[in-house]
């Protein structure tokens, strides 16, 4: 609560605020950060292993191996979401499981599962992209803007 608001409170309220601050369980920020770091790191380690696998056993280079790796990771996270395992991982890892691309797969599938009872078209179809749709839209739109800037720079700026 900001200082401005605090001044408006009555003495009793201020007293209560102090009491509450004392009793409130402190958030273990550092511990959470470490958990998120470890979880995200392990997910990325698995991703790196998949990428190396694609480079060694298929015709992918460092440049092109990224696409199948992302697809595989999203597929795995979708399976895990369906089986209810990803929820447990997310509870432990927090942002560490939401920031990598697996969190994106989880956002799509969990929304689809949640609205399954409302029917396949209006339920699953209409709600699947409620969470992840903005991510896709933002990605596509910013890619469009960057591509436009690049094209203008190359054709007119002579880069």
Judged by the rule CB under 8 A, the positions of this chain that interact with another protein are 52, 55-56, 59-67
Using alpha carbons, select from 79, 73, 78, 80 the residue that is nearest to residue 53: 73
Residue that has been written with the tokens 């997310």 in this structure: 90
Structure tokens at 34: 């470490």
Nearer of residues 24 and 59 to another protein, judged by Cβ: 59
Nearer of residues 67 and 91 to another protein, judged by Cβ: 67
Minimum CB–partner distance for residue 155 and another protein (Å): 20
Minimum CB–partner distance for residue 75 and another protein (Å): 19
Minimum CB–partner distance for residue 74 and another protein (Å): 17
Minimum CB–partner distance for residue 45 and another protein (Å): 15
Minimum CB–partner distance for residue 129 and another protein (Å): 25
Residue that has been written with the tokens 């273990």 in this structure: 28
Nearer of residues 74 and 109 to another protein, judged by Cβ: 74
The DSSP secondary-structure symbol of 26 reads P
Nearer of residues 24 and 62 to another protein, judged by Cβ: 62
Contact 6, 17 (CB under 8 A): yes
Contact 122, 98 (CB under 8 A): no
Nearer of residues 14 and 52 to another protein, judged by Cβ: 52
Residue that has been written with the tokens 């900001």 in this structure: 2
């Amino acid at each position: 609560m900001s200082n401005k608001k605090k001044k408006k409170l009555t003495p009793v309220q201020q007293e209560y605020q102090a009491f509450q601050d004392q009793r409130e369980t402190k958030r273990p920020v550092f511990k959470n950060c470490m958990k998120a770091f470890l979880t995200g790191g392990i997910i990325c380690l698995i991703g790196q292993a998949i990428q190396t696998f694609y480079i060694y056993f298929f015709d992918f280079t460092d440049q092109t191996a990224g696409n199948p790796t992302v697809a595989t990771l999203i597929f795995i996270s979708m399976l895990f979401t369906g089986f209810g395992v990803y929820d447990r991982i997310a509870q432990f890892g927090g942002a560490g499981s939401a920031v990598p691309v697996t969190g994106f797969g989880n956002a799509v599938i969990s929304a689809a599962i949640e609205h399954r009872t409302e029917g396949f078209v209006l339920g699953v179809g209409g709600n699947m992209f409620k969470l992840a749709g903005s991510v896709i839209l933002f990605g596509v739109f910013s890619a469009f803007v960057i591509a436009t800037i690049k094209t203008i720079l190359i054709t007119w700026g002579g880069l």
